[in-house]
Amino acid sequence: MGKELGLDKDGMQKHLRGKDYLADAMGQIMLNSISVMAGQMTFFYTNKVGMAAATVATLLLLAKIVDAVTDLFMGKIVDKTNTPEGKARPWLRRMIIPGALSIILLFTVPAGAGTFRYVYAFLTNIFASAICYTAIAVPYYTMMNYQTRSSEEKGKLGTFRAAVGYAVGVGLGIGLMPITGALGNDQKAWVILACCLSVISALGLLTAYRGTREIYHDDEEMSAKEASTSIVRGIGILIHNKYWIIITIFGVLMNIVYSVVMAAPIYYAQVVVGNQNFYSTVNTVNLIPSAIGFVTVSWIIRRCGLAKTAKYAALIGTAGAVLRFFFSSNPVMFLVTNAIITYATIPLISVLPAMVMNTAEVNMQKYGVRITGMTNASNSFVGKIGSGLGGSAIGWILAAGGYDAYAATGEVTGKVVGAVNVLNVYIPIVIFVVMALILFRYDLEERLPEIRRENDKKATDHPAEN
């Protein structure tokens, strides 16, 4: 059945059909529910629970640092996992209930608990991200390598996942304020929304588990070799893989800008526009570039490849961010430039998982092991560090500007407006420029066919289909 789909441009057999992409992408619902809601924690903690912005920013960054350490450990666990269901797929089933529970716990901060609120917030963020998100994301990203060896199909898997993940993000962006407002605009309203989201997320992860399969498997010798590779040895392999380092840095920057672009407009709406419902307008308008992005990105990847697609997207994002600089106080132009920036993020989030996956071939070339789980732990790692830095930057910059969540619009100072402009204008410009410079020095995609041929000659694993 797989042979009917033919070969990709690199001569690799294609296996996946539309239903396979859709089922696989459903796993992204829980991941993005956790990450998007965690990205709103600064606003929730400051505006709904009354916690200090600077303290919250530091707390969230500390949680992300702890969180990031767990990724490589989970990658090692995946590399050692061997079950009839596969190496990565079983973890989707195991994490359905814990993952759903973690979304709810984020918002159940005890009222009037004083300092304990910060302890509770820290621990629930650790549980949601360091434990649940990690134990879902690392095997989920790794599973891509066992579903197909085709870069074209990996790109499509990344695109479908990104589309579903982005739909979750935009949907929450559009509905967050109106829904919580309709439910009472208080902490209880956020808890109710989290409960509904947890149920939907659980069903999505169950669908991904039941609707996917691992086609490729390492033979016993290679499985034993990867299982015996210690975490220290694995880290040594990764830090000597320059392409893994490049993509990891690129991924951190991409997730910082994505986090800021998704979360900072709510403060633009509140401070500059004077109406926080403008945030819903921003996300509604973003549906147009999002749809265009996801419709066109697969075609662009086929024509240009993964790396060039990312380069062009970074340049488009730079153009949008620079244009916003000249019209930062104009709400209409904010919508226009945000649409441009939103379009630019679509290819970036679509190609990152496949670009990370391809760096495992360099591990195989140099050290005889792919350590796929540990390599792909960086997908989770960069998301956490990037979103952590992005979320913390929002809190720190707002605190430096003297932001007061309870101040009336007329009381907003120029310093606060300046802080909001730093978040919405200057940070995106700098990060998009740096990402473009990084990508122009990235040449793995051109070298990949030769590396794969070399690996095929000396590899001890011979993938077999079920």
Domain CATH code at residue 118: 1.20.1250.20
Query: What are the pLDDT digits (tens) for 83-124?
Result: 888 889 999 999 999 999 999 999 998 877 678 888 888 899
Please check whether residue 60 lies inside any domain of the structure. yes
pLDDT digits (tens, 9 = 90+) for 374-383: 887 766 677 6
Out of 18-27, 68-77, 256-265, the most confident range is: 18-27
Contact 261, 338 (CB under 8 A): yes
Contact 335, 282 (CB under 8 A): yes
Spatial distance between the Cα atoms of 197 and 175, rounded to a whole number of angstroms: 12
The reply to whether 2 falls in a domain is no
* Terminal Cα-to-Cα distance of the chain (whole angstroms): 12
Question: Is the pLDDT score of 228 beyond 60?
Answer: yes
Within a domain: residue 8? no
Mean pLDDT of 312-317: 94
For residue 6, being part of any structural domain is answered with no
Q: Where are the beta strands (DSSP E) in 160-270?
A: none
Number of domains in the chain: 1
pLDDT tens digits, 403-455: 776 554 556 678 888 888 888 889 999 999 999 999 888 888 888 888 888 87
Average pLDDT, the chain: 84
Give the pLDDT score at 1: 43
For 319, other C-beta atoms within 10 Å of its C-beta total: 15
Q: 463 φ, ψ to 5°? A: -55, 135
Domain range for residue 84? 18-456
Is 48 contained in some domain?
Answer: yes
Instruction: List, as own/partner pairs, every contact residues 263-266 make where C-beta atoms lie below 8 angstroms and the sequence separation is at least 24, other chains included.
Output: 263/39, 263/40, 263/42, 263/43, 263/390, 263/391, 263/394, 264/394, 264/420, 264/423, 264/424, 264/427, 265/334, 265/338, 265/424, 266/43, 266/177
The residues that bridge with 83 in the sheet, in sequence order, are 86
- Cα angle 75, 77, 82; round to 5: 115
CA 310/CA 316 separation, integer angstroms: 10
Q: Is residue 11 one of the residues assigned to a domain? A: no
pTM flag (> 0.85)? no
Residues 6+ apart with CB under 8 A from 179: 189, 193
- CA R_g for the chain: 22
**Taking a C-beta distance cutoff of 8 angstroms, is the pair 174, 57 a contact?**
no
